[in-house]
Structure 1
């Protein structure tokens, strides 16, 4: 037996564990199913223990397989990153970049930038996962995420782009019919839409001319977990809402929405590119991140004073 670890077999095992199937792993790796099966069997023989439990209907990780699958996947990921880094030094950035982006922000702000990215780097491929849920970057195999929140996981790395303000807005028709609140406490008398991804969806805390913050309980006919879904009711004058500046910027410029309580501020949230704690990143990833950082930091809503 060689003293060197069987890195190829570990890499193949990590793909099988990730895919849950010899056949699917073989397709991803460009190998035959027999080659994949033999590599795992060779690895199990080498370590003297089973990593997979095989039946005629399913394939499952053993207890030991569960323990080492994540480490094997990191081993493969590190090797792929090192190889990609070396290749990228002499070649145009190429290959797949996986990013996780909030739903509305991805649709409104990131998606329109992608044609420019592809024009500059025609061999880069993008897999953009749109969700307002916070995804696990490592478990999900993402290269980075765009996040509008303070970073809670200290093991991740963040590259700040700008601050995102939350603005209280309504249509001119709503203001004409119901008046404009002059103080946050006036919101008790207004139909306020709820946005589930505010830290406290039914309580808004303002800072303003006074010394102490003012917290108000809000209520209204609509609550959503995606800010863009509020826009039809908001534009129709059904109520008012506190929404991120990027989401209402164009409507404010066009006059179809107006800002309320301009002397009061809701908490701002940093907009950041968030990365797993890898030491090396392929050039395709760093170039994509640099491109998005430059473009988003120059967006008109990002340049507005906080």
Structure 2
């Protein structure tokens, strides 16, 4: 067995937490992971993991091995990457995690162009609105819309997406157009439960004066796309990220409400582990995102 493959396997098991998850991360079977770990342990003459029928746990020797070998593996990967940089394009599998709505509507349509540009690259796209553990899941790059709290990660801001208050023409014809926070409070709104603001919508008028509308609602959803569909059905006024409703605003299916006021905007971030070496495939993807969205 190749020494580098053994090192990669140990790192994957430690970070993923199990032979099965490490196998998924490396695209090999659980049995092969177990075999590779056994070979490394035999070569070193120490036990790196304690096994039971239900779980594994890392030994003290395993912790020491992992802590010492990760920077060595990063240095090796950086060396190989730098030597090949002027000879080949980014290559290998790039595992990306992105929010469901953004991933489906905005990111997925761009992937064919990415692969045409970098034919030696493959993309494994995971869509989830939950916060994930990048190391445990074996994710190379996370695209997040909103805040970034983990100081162990590098967050590169790509762009910002404003939230837009909007409604259907039929709803506005029936209920009128609000012009300030007090009038907005008399309308029915649709709440996106992903937002921490809840029923308190912050506003700022064209003169920079802030206010808060304490809105009322009978419908909430944890998906901006679902909120959009309720608003399209004349269910009320929604506060929706601009990228979700661009097409409907252009077609006139939705109308911007209180256009002279601003509300929140969310940053779009590309996030990757805080390590000295950033793989070229990750750097290429970040540059691609900046080109397409900034």
Q: Same-fold call, TM > 0.5?
A: yes
Q: Does 1:64 align with 2:60?
A: yes
- Aligned 8 A contact 1:151 1:158 in 2: yes
What secondary structure is seen at the aligned counterpart in 2 of 1:223? strand
- Aligned 8 A contact 2:188 2:235 in 1: yes
Deviations 1:152-204 (A, max 9, x none): 33443333332211110000000011111111222221111111222312211
| TM-score normalised over the length of structure 2 | 0.84
Relative to structure 1, the CA distance from residue 170 to residue 66 in structure 2 (aligned partners, 3 Å threshold; closer, same or farther) is farther
Q: Which residue number in structure 2 is paired with residue 240 of structure 1?
A: 237
- Aligned 8 A contact 1:102 1:146 in 2: yes
Q: Which residue number in structure 1 is paired with residue 142 of structure 2?
A: 145
Relative to structure 1, the CA distance from residue 11 to residue 199 in structure 2 (aligned partners, 3 Å threshold; closer, same or farther) is same
- State how many pairs are aligned: 287
Q: Which residue number in structure 1 is paired with residue 251 of structure 2?
A: 254
From 79, 94, 97, give the equivalent of 1:97.
94
TM alignment of 1:40-59, pairs within 5 A: 40-43=41-44, 45-46=45-46, 50-55=47-52, 57-59=53-55
TM alignment of 1:122-271, pairs within 5 A: 122-209=119-206, 212-271=209-268
Q: Does 1:119 align with 2:116?
A: yes
Runs of 5+ in structure 2 lacking a partner? none
Relative to structure 1, the CA distance from residue 121 to residue 102 in structure 2 (aligned partners, 3 Å threshold; closer, same or farther) is same
CA distance, structure 1, for counterparts of residue 133 and residue 10 of structure 2: 22
From 278, 286, 289, give the equivalent of 2:286.
289
Q: Which residue number in structure 2 is paired with residue 20 of structure 1?
A: 18
What secondary structure is seen at the aligned counterpart in 2 of 1:132? coil
CA distance, structure 1, for counterparts of residue 121 and residue 179 of structure 2: 50
- Aligned 8 A contact 2:158 2:289 in 1: no
Runs of 5+ in structure 1 lacking a partner? 1-5, 298-306
- Aligned 8 A contact 2:190 2:235 in 1: no
Relative to structure 1, the CA distance from residue 115 to residue 7 in structure 2 (aligned partners, 3 Å threshold; closer, same or farther) is closer
How far is the alpha carbon of 1:94 from its aligned partner?
Answer: 1.2
- Aligned 8 A contact 1:11 1:75 in 2: no
TM alignment of 1:67-78, pairs within 5 A: 67-68=63-64, 71=67, 74-75=70-71, 78=74
Structure with the largest fraction of strand: 2
Q: Which residue number in structure 2 is paired with residue 38 of structure 1?
A: 39
CA RMSD of aligned residues (A): 3.1
Relative to structure 1, the CA distance from residue 51 to residue 240 in structure 2 (aligned partners, 3 Å threshold; closer, same or farther) is same
How far is the alpha carbon of 1:84 from its aligned partner?
Answer: 3.7
- Aligned 8 A contact 2:184 2:215 in 1: yes
CA distance, structure 2, for counterparts of residue 199 and residue 32 of structure 1: 42
CA distance, structure 2, for counterparts of residue 7 and residue 159 of structure 1: 30
